[in-house]
Each structure stands twice: as C-alpha cells, then as structure tokens.
Amino acid sequence: MLKQVLEYELKLHQVQKQLEKLKGWREILFTLALAERSYPNYVLFCELAEVENTKAYRALLDTLWRALEEKTSSSVINALLLKLERLVPDAEAYDMYGVKPALDSCALVESVMFGWLNPENRRALEASQSSLATVTDFIEYAEGEGLDEDELVELFDAHPFVVQESEFQSQCFRLIKPERYPTRELLQKVKRIAANEGVSNIGIALD
C-alpha cells in the first residue's frame, strides 16, 4: 500500500508542476472535472440543510459541460455566475461541517467560469490544490481528532481518499493534455470519470 501511495503522490506532484501550462479549454475542462467530482458534496449539504438548490446546481454544471462543445459568449458565462451566487450557501448560517465541502464545490464551479472570462489567469493548479484540500480537511475532521501535525501527515499520506484524488487528477490531466480539441467523445469520457458513479472525492454517494 505504501508503494502505491508514493507512486500516486509522485504522479500528482508531476501533474501539478505542469498544470500552470494548461490554458484555454484544457484548463476549463480540468477544473470542471474537479467540480463534477465534488457535486455529491453539495447535494448532501442541501439535503441536510433542507435547501432546494440541487436541481439548479445540477443544471448549472450541465450547462457548463455543454458550453465546452459550443461557442459560448462571455455574457452567457456572466449570467451563469449570477445564478451561482444565488446557490452559494452562507457559511455563517449553518452550524454543520457539510457546508464547507459545499462551499469548496461552489468555488471550483466559480473557477471554471472565471477561466472563460479571464483566460490569462492560470487556475488549474489552484483548483487542483483546492480539491485535494477538501479531501485532507475532511479526513482531519473525520479521523484526525487528537493527532499532532506529524500524525496527520502520516494519516493523509496513507489514506485511500488521497490516493483516489491523486489518481483522478492525474488521469484527467493525461486525457486532456494531448488532445487538440474538446471533442464530444473526450468530454463524455472525462465527465463519466469525474462523476465516479455518483461518489465524491470525500466518499459522499448520491444514493
């Protein structure tokens, strides 16, 4: 298991070194894949908080996936940003851990749209680190009580959620980087991998 963890960490480190080179549709697609993987985290928050935003959030994500196949104007993306603002939970209004991964998910979706509006600013690396931070924050919350800093690092390094996140990001990068265009086949494949049969990066399942 340790050898597998080290291999995945090395892959992710190598990927993160190259993420700043991603631009245009590749950067948007990579970040959208991370947002898609986080979708169940938002759904669970809505269920626990009894907020009926799930359908609107799902529709927003689906619109972004379709937008990569089409020539989407900045006015459309600006309109989607306004929709997202209405779906972002108020962290201070909810006394539950679930609001944090939901906010992390919203931040990834926002980053996708900023990638369209401000393509000069590289965001793929920040999105990668943010998605991994969601995982490690959850592990610390769920399993890290009473552990010191060194013990937490040890816990993260060997945790299956970290291994899965590392492999997922590496796989997305390998699929996206060599392609010349965001073909429908590529988008469907990346979306299917990102959806992960309805299981999020912290193990939240839609069913």
pLDDT tens digits, one per residue of 149-181:
888 888 888 899 998 998 899 899 999 999 999
Cβ proximity of 9 and 93 under 8 Å: no
CATH superfamily ID and name for 12-198:
YP_001051499.1 domain like (1.20.1590.10)
Band (114; pLDDT cuts 50, 70, 90): very high
- The number of angstroms, rounded, from the C-alpha of 194 to the middle of its chain's C-alpha atoms is 9
Report the alpha-carbon distance of residue 127 to residue 42 in Å, rounded: 17
Task: Tell me which residue has tokens 């948007």.
Answer: 28
pLDDT (0 to 100) of residue 12 = 63
pLDDT tens digits, one per residue of 28-83:
999 999 999 999 999 999 999 999 999 999 999 999 999 998 878 889 999 999 99
Report the alpha-carbon distance of residue 71 to residue 41 in Å, rounded: 30
pTM to 2 decimals?
A: 0.91
